[in-house]
Amino acid sequence: MICVKCTILITSVLCLWMPRAFGMHCSPLPGVNLVGQVLKTADVTHADACCAACSELPGCVAATYDSSPPLCILRSNVTAARPSNSSITSFVNGATLPQQLAMEMFVSTFNCSDPSWTGATAVCNWSGVSCTLGVVTHFSYPGMGCGGSVHLSLLPQGMKNLDLEDNAFSGSLDLTALPSGMKYVDLDTNHFGGSLDLSALPSEIKNLYLSANQFTGSVDLTALPSGMQALSLGLNQLSGSVDLTILLPGMQNLDLGANQFRGPVDLTALPSGMQALSLSANHFSGPVNLTALPSGMQTLGLGSNQFSGSVDFTALPSGMQNFDISGNQFSGSVDLRALPSGMQELGLEDNQFSGSVDLTALPSGMQILNLYKNQFSGPVNLTVLPLGMQELDFAGNDVCGRTVSSIGCSSLVLQSNCTCDATAHSFVVDCPAC
């Protein structure tokens, strides 16, 4: 489906309804005019004051501000919304609207359209919409090239799942305006920016994905909902320090990678059920204590930071599968004989590890081992590598001697003074004599 520039006219004429009490979210809808019963006008000089006036007026569910000349109209209901000129800004809460009109208004700020998104088609028959017993609960429109803005305050109150990942939406996000029953939000890979307020998320939310956007500022993890299981904030421009000791027990997956966080990190009090944690590509520093990681942790990414000190590989949880500490300043010897039996990928490249390295007791399922650019030396024995190993990289070190490899030459990345030759029955690796 190809998204085209839209000029959606939201013209549904609906029966009037008694508005519920709510807290107005002052999330502006620029260029949108509202139609409905006028309660009164207010003498204010800017849009935010117009929204505040509606919040303070009993029975007010929507406000429209015209900056030229200044005029604030407060309404007790909304029957339609229409595109208007740039001097008009409206405010409305989707919880007070019939769900058909709320969804029409929600998609009206997209710069793409779908033929089904009209007042003539029942909202439960819209492309991307799922309903339960006639109530809109899901809206999914990922990877459709849509841009424009997203106003979460317009979502119908019954909405549970929202997926707009991999589009081109921009602007800020008011996460405090999400419907109270929201459980899943995926807005990864867009162009959203501004700060993030995680202090008033819906109490039932379990998964929030905001990676690969342009968010800035610090994040407060102290007030996350108790049932939250996954939070993805990677690939943004977030900064400040991070306290992982205050995470709630239910957190299972946390991605803070590829931001600008800095300072020390305490991994000794992570939630007991945590399975995956990514802190890669930040500016974290100091030593890392791996002795109290959650027993069920499977993935830990600490690469491309400024961590230092030694690493105790014997302390890794038995179920660890992926462990990346590349691109840091770790040093000391490396004992790979006691790696967890399920380890599949281990990244140690670009550190300051030294001494010999024993590759004779690697986990049988190991697929990738990267030792590149350290200070390893001495003979290396490649005769009993796991048969399923796809890549072993020990370039940029100073190993020596001759050995037969149990995996093919194409799976080996050697230091510049080593060679690998395939014979009729074996793969022979020659490095300088020890």
pLDDT (0 to 100) of residue 24:
60
- More confident site: 346 or 108: 346
* Model confidence at 304: pLDDT above 90: yes
CATH C-level class of 18-97: alpha beta
What confidence tier does 201 reach under pLDDT thresholds 50, 70, 90?
A: very high
SS3 (DSSP) at 235: coil
pLDDT (0 to 100) of residue 243:
96
Query: What is the DSSP secondary-structure string of 382-396?
Result: -TT--TT--EEE-TT
Q: What percent of the chain has pLDDT over 90?
A: 76
pLDDT (0 to 100) of residue 120:
87
| In the chain, domain spans | 18-97, 333-434
Convert the pLDDT of each residue in 253-303 to its tens digit. Answer: 999 999 999 999 999 999 999 999 999 999 999 999 999 999 999 999 999
**Sign of the dihedral defined by the CA atoms of residues 231, 235, 238, 241, in that order:** positive
What confidence tier does 90 reach under pLDDT thresholds 50, 70, 90?
A: confident
C-beta separation of 244 from 265 below 8 A? yes
* Model confidence at 20: pLDDT above 80: no
Tell me the average pLDDT across 388-400: 95
* Model confidence at 247: pLDDT above 70: yes
What is the model's pTM?
Answer: 0.86
C-beta separation of 398 from 375 below 8 A? yes
Convert the pLDDT of each residue in 31-60 to its tens digit. Answer: 888 888 999 999 998 999 999 999 889 889
pLDDT (0 to 100) of residue 381:
94
pLDDT (0 to 100) of residue 272:
93
Bridge partners of 326, per DSSP, are: none
* Model confidence at 156: pLDDT above 70: yes
Convert the pLDDT of each residue in 102-142 to its tens digit. Answer: 899 899 889 998 999 988 899 999 999 999 999 999 999 99
What single-letter DSSP state applies at residue 154?
A: G
pLDDT (0 to 100) of residue 1:
29
